[in-house]
Homo-oligomer: A and B are copies of this chain.
Amino acid sequence: MMMRKLTASLLSVGVMFMSVHAFAANEPIQPIKPVKPENAAMVELGKMLFFDTRLSKSGFISCNSCHNLSMGGTDNLKTSIGHKWQQGPINAPTVLNASMNLAQFWDGRAKDLKEQAGGPIANPGEMAFAHDKVVAMLNTIPQYKDQFKKAFNSDKIDIDGVTTAIAAFEETLVTPGSRFDKWLEGDKEALTKAESDGYALFKSAGCTKCHNGPAVGGNSFEKMGVYKPYETESPAIGRMDVTGKEEDRFVFKVPTLRNVELTYPYFHDGGASTLEEAVDIMGRLQVNREFNKEEIANIVAFLKTLTGKQPDFKLPILPPSTNETHRYEPFD
């Protein structure tokens, strides 16, 4: 009797387990897996650097200024504010789940997070500093020297180490545990009817052609404005800037839709301020479909189930400058 019960319950667990896996495997979107960092000291170093305003010419702007981890890894502005309040050319993409992107920046000009991290530091319109000055700064701060030693087992600090550490930290910024992932993993109660209807429509309308995989995007370049041109004042031409090919004009990396409720405004120019607007425009331009109000509401309801576990760590405390450290003069 006992044996039979045990066998039966083992069997039912087995069936449940199989059905969950079979279920998720058939979907165009997969759950996000938590990340276990290999080198904790490097992640800690990267976190400090990510929050350190001394990586900018002014001493005021850090990576976190535009990829604010309190705000979905973005600045929630159409385009970002750079050195001396310069207007950035493009919407800051979220750093959350960015490790899953096939390349970095909207035009994919950096092959990975490490290559990306060096960009804004030296970009005159962003942090406006210089790689050698960052390295010189870090070399005057004993606590940073210790942390580099722990992370790299070497006494040398160079920009390669800086960007490697920032990338290692950013790789931890994945957001598992969303309601949609719970649903994918078999918890059918995790979504409301409107939300699952929204997902069904999201698939049937063809949105998952581009927005798929664990990041619900980030894994292809696509033209913005397939059926109708996208109206914008933004001069950004996308991937053509990288390849020089006319066919890549207005081709951009498909953004992740993970945490999209938090990453407003939308598109490369921040031109859509609400999810409803974004879904409406995407429908007409990308899949040649005019969603009605209820359809839009359902898709938006689905999109809001993609919000996962946000960054969960203590505010980093930065080591103080020493007498040898560069003093920042933001108004010079």
Contacts and interface: CB of A to CB of B under 8 A. Distances in A.
Nearest to A76: B59
Contact of A314 (B60, B312, B321): B312
A69 interface: yes
Given A70-B315, A313-B315, A320-B261, A330 B53 contact: no
Interface stretch (A29-37, A80-88, A200-208, A230-238): A80-88
A261 B142 CA distance: 14
B51 A70 contact: yes
A77 B59 contact: yes
A311 interface: yes
Interface string A252-276: 0000000001101100000001101
Given A60-B81, A81-B330, A69 B315 contact: yes
A3 interface: no
Contact of A327 (B262, B273, B313): B273
Contacts of A318: 70-71
Interface in A272-288: 273-274, 276
A314 B314 contact: yes
Given A265-B327, A314-B314, A81 B58 contact: yes
13 contacts: A53-B71, A53-B76, A58-B81, A70-B315, A71-B318, A77-B328, A85-B330, A261-B320, A264-B320, A273-B327, A276-B323, A310-B317, A314-B314
